[in-house]
Amino acid sequence: MPWILALSAVIACSAQAREYRYSDAHLHYVDFFQESAGMDELLEKMAENNVDHVMFSGIPVAKKWDEDEPKRPRYYAGDDANAYWYSATDVFIADAYKRLPAEQRKRFHPFLSGFNPNDKNADAHIRRMLELDPGLWQGIGEVFTRHDDLTALIHGSAPRANNEALARVFHLAAEYDLPVMLHSNITSKREREPLFLEEIEAPLRNHPHVRFIWAHAGTSAEIHRHQEKLDFLLDTVERMLGQYPNLYIDLSWTMLRPYLLDADGKPDPKWVHLVSSYPERFMLGSDVVGRFGSLGDYMKGFDPFLDALPEDVAHKVARDNFLSVLPRRVQAELDR
């Protein structure tokens, strides 16, 4: 195809080094035990790695250390102990944000996540949180729905992005002009088709005034562990971007490989073409959880792909697109 040849030539000629500044559109300040390395480490790693802005969120569940487990698990998948919805995660986020010096707060964008997406009371809880700290929260998420083995570990029935409880949350998001980050797997570990696609498409269709950020475009490390690569992903994302103007794609860690870069670390021309065709709809994220030493590695790991994009598009994807989905009042403050 001629456009692939042209893009390959652009990629081959992109030897001149560019310097990027980043927005991390997917960062968890705490881990699955609601613990964090702390703000000093986060600020240090942001300064070292040209990270200007971060999506600042908690983790909506806490992993249980079971009575019959002699060793504390290190991750939610460390053993078979359950996890449970944990609203206090937002208390930690709000406290850490309020402790920041005033000049630093503009760089942090708190997203509210501590609610049960199966509970039709969730929107009332979120409204109370918004009213408790007017103007603090700038988004909702990461909302966990289909999430690999974590779904089976969480107490209660498995959440779905198209359930009634979340529909009420999405109406609230539109009312407050808040973007929503959704984790909704596109398929299971074994099915080689977009098995759960309708669960993310229904909210996109039914809530056109909500800006949805789709975490990892529905992919995950666990899916790749079993399937390596989803051959249908690129065509599916391309169709959805054309169909839903309120869809934004978080290109966090499971998207870098095997999609954006091939096995040799070279940019995939088809993904370069797709991102270039929708220059305002993609953003980068690290998806770090409570520890920030790898922040720079994750963000700068995208540089070979960014270098293959037109330079203006690359800077949008690296930094500006995340800022563009934030509430209009926040964008106005950043422009001052």
| Residue-level pLDDT, tens digit, the chain, 336 residues | 555 555 555 554 444 689 999 999 999 999 999 999 999 999 999 999 999 999 999 999 999 999 988 999 888 877 888 899 999 999 999 999 999 999 999 999 999 999 999 999 999 999 999 999 999 999 999 999 999 888 878 878 889 999 999 999 999 999 999 999 999 999 998 888 999 999 999 999 999 999 999 999 999 888 888 888 999 999 999 999 999 999 999 999 899 999 999 999 999 999 999 999 999 999 999 999 999 999 999 999 999 999 999 999 999 999 999 999 999 999 999 988
d(C-alpha 303, C-alpha 292), whole Å: 19
- Residue 155's pLDDT is 78
Residues in the chain: 336
Dihedral sign from CA coordinates of 332, 112, 116, 83: positive
d(C-alpha 289, C-alpha 298), whole Å: 12
Half-sphere exposure of 206 (CA within 13 A, CB side): 16
- For 30-77, write each residue's pLDDT tens digit: 999 999 999 999 999 999 999 999 999 999 999 999 998 899 988 887
Residue 15, H or E segment: none
**∠ at Cα 285 (301, 294), nearest 5°?**
55
Q: Which of 71, 29, 26, 22 is nearest to 49 (CA)?
A: 22
Hey, what are 211's tokens?
A: 């800006």
3-state SS assignment for residue 128:
helix
Phi-psi region of 50 (alpha: psi -120 to 50; beta: other; left: phi over 0): left
d(C-alpha 301, C-alpha 309), whole Å: 15
- Residue 333's pLDDT is 93
User: Does residue 142 have a cis peptide bond before it, meaning omega lies within 30 degrees of 0?
Assistant: yes
CATH architecture of the domain 22-333 equals: Alpha-Beta Barrel (3.20)
d(C-alpha 91, C-alpha 296), whole Å: 27
Q: Which of 310, 315, 246 is nearest to 13 (CA)?
A: 310
- Residue 16's pLDDT is 64
- Residue 118's pLDDT is 96
Instruction: Let me know if 55 is exposed, middle or buried by CB neighbors in 10 A (0-12, 13-18, 19+).
Output: buried
- Residue 75's pLDDT is 81
- Residue 14's pLDDT is 47
d(C-alpha 304, C-alpha 324), whole Å: 23
- Residue 153's pLDDT is 85
Domain ranges of the chain: 22-333
Hey, what are 240's tokens?
A: 């959805």
d(C-alpha 234, C-alpha 240), whole Å: 10
- Residue 15's pLDDT is 42
Residue 52, H or E segment: strand 51-57
Q: Which of 26, 7, 55, 52 is nearest to 313 (CA)?
A: 7
Instruction: Let me know if 282 is exposed, middle or buried by CB neighbors in 10 A (0-12, 13-18, 19+).
Output: buried
Each residue of 190-227: b (16+ CB within 10 Å) or e? eeeebebbebbbbbbeebeebbbbbbbbbbbebbbeeb
- The single residue listed with the structure tokens 């089976």 is 152
